[in-house]
Amino acid sequence: MSDKSHDPNQMTGAAMIVRALIDHGVTDIFGYPGGAVLPIYDEIFQQSEVQHILVRHEQGAGHAAEGYARSTGKPGVALVTSGPGATNMVTPLTDALMDSIPLVCISGQVPTHLIGNDAFQECDTVGITRPCTKHNWLVRDVNDLAKVLHEAFYVATTGRPGPVLVDVPKDVQFATGTYHPPRKSDVHRSYAPRVKGDATQIRKAVALLAGAKRPVIYSGGGVINSGPEATRLLRELVEVTGFPITSTLMGLGAYPASGKSWLGMLGMHGTYEANMTMHDCDVMLCVGARFDDRITGRVDAFSPGSKKIHIDIDPSSINKNIRVDVPIIGDCGNILGDILQVFKAEAKKPDVKAWWQQIAQWRARNSLYYRKSNDVILPQHAIQSLFEATRGKDTYITTEVGQHQMWAAQFFGFEEPHRWMTSGGLGTMGYGLPAAVGVQVAHPDSLVIDIAGDASVQMTMQEMSTAVQYELPIKIFILNNQYMGMVRQWQQLLHGNRLSHSYSEALPDFVKLAEAYGGVGLQVHKPGDLDGAIQEMISVKRPVLFDCRVAALENCFPMIPSGKAHNEMLLPEQANDEATAKAFAGGKALV
Amino acid sequence: MNQPASAYFIEERHDPNETHTLSVLVQNEPGVLARVIGLFSGRGYNIESLTVSETESQKHLSRITIVTTGTPMVIEQIKHQLDRMIPVYRVVDMTLTKRSIERELAMVKVRGQGEHRVEALRLADAFRARVIDATTESFVFEITGNTDKINQFIDLMRPLGLVEVSRTGVAAIGRGPEGM
């Protein structure tokens, strides 16, 4: 006779949640308690396998989980309460959806009998998060909970990764039911992402690559998401073919920045050589990227003479913005392996010497040029100094959003994947600081730096407190120009230099602020003091706010002006008032 | 091209719109219809008609029929976006297969007397519409057919005292022995 009370799989919903986390190998979660998740917090209190990091705002939990996920390749987990806890998660969920980051959010909900009653801290969480998750669930029966949790992890981490949310009413957390470990039947039969590429398409792709005179490989975050094997294969493909390679903001690090075939990032603030190569190429191999509008520039003038191969695991990414000739749906690691195999067996290395000579001429334009100064720190120079000081160290970089983010992408060289955490798709100011918290939790002994702006960093500044509490020695490297730099840049270029609300008035004293939090504050004004201060920042084993005062009016170039094509970039030496006016003329832009 | 001051690349596309009928087989679970509709509203796609009902209750399967308009690229997107939803089993473009039957049911209320009333009845007969309710001054007709036929019938009823119409929206199925 079986006695249910002794069945180890009989447990409360709250216990199931913690058990499922353990079964999925989760060691760290980020969250904030509240009325509707108290039973789960009670379970967390009584165990030691899952470490809970208490953030200061639920948005911080979400971004920290994203940083954790992106730096490890494992799913990030956030735990929040109902109502405001859940609505505060909307930004990180959307961010993770746009950047294809595996995130599992568990939210508390008011008891089932109160749902729809406008109860205290009630909101329609699954309704609100439906468009910003890959999938979400409201669990009404404790006996469905195990299945849903396992499915949630599966959906978040397979196919095109993304955020999922499981909404658990408080009575379901209290109720006792039967738990089961993860099993295959937990997943919707309708969900079967395709991983293997079509063999005919792969042959077509190889034929194009083998016959290319002016090829380019354009890689994206999908390569990093696919895992280390995809990165290795991408590097091998570049080696075997001798083709030039560029990447999106999301894809930095898949191919090393020091590699000889590296063109730099492409797109709106990409290098001249990367964008010209894209524009003039005859064969383009897009791997795990999605022809985003920051990449393509004007779509009807995007790489007009090329045959395009597009590898993506998400069929809806194919032909969304740009018509491609050879779409291949599947996991890019898999497909790169197949392409390499066929290429090595049947094709010989195409002669692309003349193409590289052309690229060398574009490269000679030195599109990342900026004028150094002995009096003020140029933001580009600050990033370069930071890069030099961290070379050879075990470093992870996160960013906020704006000019500093683009400069970091341009001037910080990434040699490995998973080292660069930035909000690409959604462009979330305030992402970098909590993301750094998440990265540091995953890599306690590594150097984790948030390259920040003075405006962005204030959006989630309270997470400094989290860093101090958990002794996470993150470095917040603020390029402080006292402006929302990118907003100001657009206002200068497009809105007649009317700087409407883009000046950072009443900035806090970041040094005192750091000290108030129990961290370390550093400030530097002069280029001559920069290297020493960076060394000090690195050597301090505590959270640091580094207030790097930089030239206030420096703008980010090169740049593809709106409505222009890749070959109409505005280079830094041309970016005087007259040329800028001309480049942006045509609209109501410059008065 | 006249580019307004914008951080986005603004362009106008002038591809002609097409109308397509899509059959979508989904897991019948809470929120599934909201997901499908949310996709259309969130991405700015059009819904001309939407029909949904559980078709296999044992397997919890529902079939959604959507009539939508858009450029060929948009229609392609809609299909892919639907297909990648977790509870969606299959999406079939009934317009592309060219081997599908589409039907709609409408109930049409007409009010009138004398010659108008006789004429309405005569036309209803010609369209094989059935009278499902009658008073001395009104009829409710039930008519089944494709969208064009129903539109035509409604147009004819208008001068004869059309009061109101209730339509089911399009349901579609493929010809031949094969299932979806």
DSSP, collapsed to helix, strand or coil, labels residue A517 as helix
Which helix (H) or strand (E) segment holds residue B108: the answer is strand B100-111
Does residue A180 sit at the B interface (CB-CB below 8 Å)?
A: no
User: What is the per-residue pLDDT across A348-365, written as a single tens digit (0 to 9) for each?
Assistant: 999 999 999 999 999 999
Which residues of A carry out catalysis?
A: 58, 120-121, 170, 486
> Mean pLDDT, to the nearest integer, of A123-145?
98
User: What is the per-residue pLDDT across A316-335, written as a single tens digit (0 to 9) for each?
Assistant: 999 999 999 999 999 999 99
pLDDT band at B13 (very low <50, low <70, confident <90, very high): low
pLDDT band at B15 (very low <50, low <70, confident <90, very high): confident
Answer whether CATH 3.30.70.260 is correct for domain B18-93: yes
ipTM above 0.85? yes
Residue B159, Cβ density class (10 Å: 0-12 exposed, 13-18 middle, ≥19 buried): exposed
User: What is the per-residue pLDDT across B128-164, written as a single tens digit (0 to 9) for each?
Assistant: 999 999 999 999 999 999 999 999 999 999 999 999 9
- Locate B114 and state its tokens: 């004398």
Whether the predicted pLDDT of A426 surpasses 60: yes
pLDDT band at B180 (very low <50, low <70, confident <90, very high): confident
Whether the predicted pLDDT of A557 surpasses 80: yes
pLDDT band at A577 (very low <50, low <70, confident <90, very high): low
Taking the C-alpha atoms of residue B159 and residue B180, their distance in angstroms, rounded to an integer, is 41
Taking contacts as CB-CB distances below 8 angstroms, the residues of chain A near B38 are: 130-131
Does residue B14 sit at the A interface (CB-CB below 8 Å)?
A: no
User: What is the per-residue pLDDT across A154-166, written as a single tens digit (0 to 9) for each?
Assistant: 999 999 999 999 9
Taking contacts as CB-CB distances below 8 angstroms, the residues of chain B near A563 are: 1, 3, 9-11
A-B contacts at Cβ under 8 angstroms: 83
Per-residue pLDDT, A587 = 41
User: What is the per-residue pLDDT across B81-100, written as a single tens digit (0 to 9) for each?
Assistant: 999 999 999 999 999 987 89
Per-residue pLDDT, B14 = 74
Does residue A297 sit at the B interface (CB-CB below 8 Å)?
A: yes
Does residue B8 sit at the A interface (CB-CB below 8 Å)?
A: yes
Whether the predicted pLDDT of A551 surpasses 90: yes
A228 Cβ contact list (under 8 Å, min separation 6): A73, A417
Q: CATH 3.30.70.1150 in chain B: give the residue spans.
A: 100-174
User: Mean pLDDT across chain A, nearest whole number?
Assistant: 95
Whether the predicted pLDDT of A42 surpasses 80: yes
pLDDT band at A580 (very low <50, low <70, confident <90, very high): low
Whether the predicted pLDDT of A414 surpasses 70: yes
Whether the predicted pLDDT of A591 surpasses 60: no
Per-residue pLDDT, B10 = 65
Taking contacts as CB-CB distances below 8 angstroms, the residues of chain A near B10 are: 562-563
Does residue B60 sit at the A interface (CB-CB below 8 Å)?
A: no
Task: Kindly report the number of other CB atoms within 10 A of residue A543's CB atom.
Answer: 29
CB–CB contact A320 B77 (8 Å): yes
pTM: 0.95
Taking the C-alpha atoms of residue A21 and residue A18, their distance in angstroms, rounded to an integer, is 5
Whether the predicted pLDDT of B28 surpasses 60: yes
Q: Cis peptide before A558, with omega less than 30 degrees from 0?
A: yes
Mutate to test the interface with B, among A187, A562, A564 (most CBs of B within 10 A): A562
Q: Does residue A286 contact residue A303 with C-beta atoms inside 8 Å?
A: no
Taking contacts as CB-CB distances below 8 angstroms, the residues of chain A near B3 are: 562-563, 586-587
- Note the CATH number of domain B100-174: 3.30.70.1150
Among chain B residues, CA nearest to A583? B3
Per-residue pLDDT, A297 = 87
Per-residue pLDDT, A584 = 65
Per-residue pLDDT, A511 = 98
User: What is the per-residue pLDDT across A558-572, written as a single tens digit (0 to 9) for each?
Assistant: 999 878 899 999 998
Taking contacts as CB-CB distances below 8 angstroms, the residues of chain A near B85 are: 135
Does residue A500 sit at the B interface (CB-CB below 8 Å)?
A: no
pLDDT band at A581 (very low <50, low <70, confident <90, very high): low
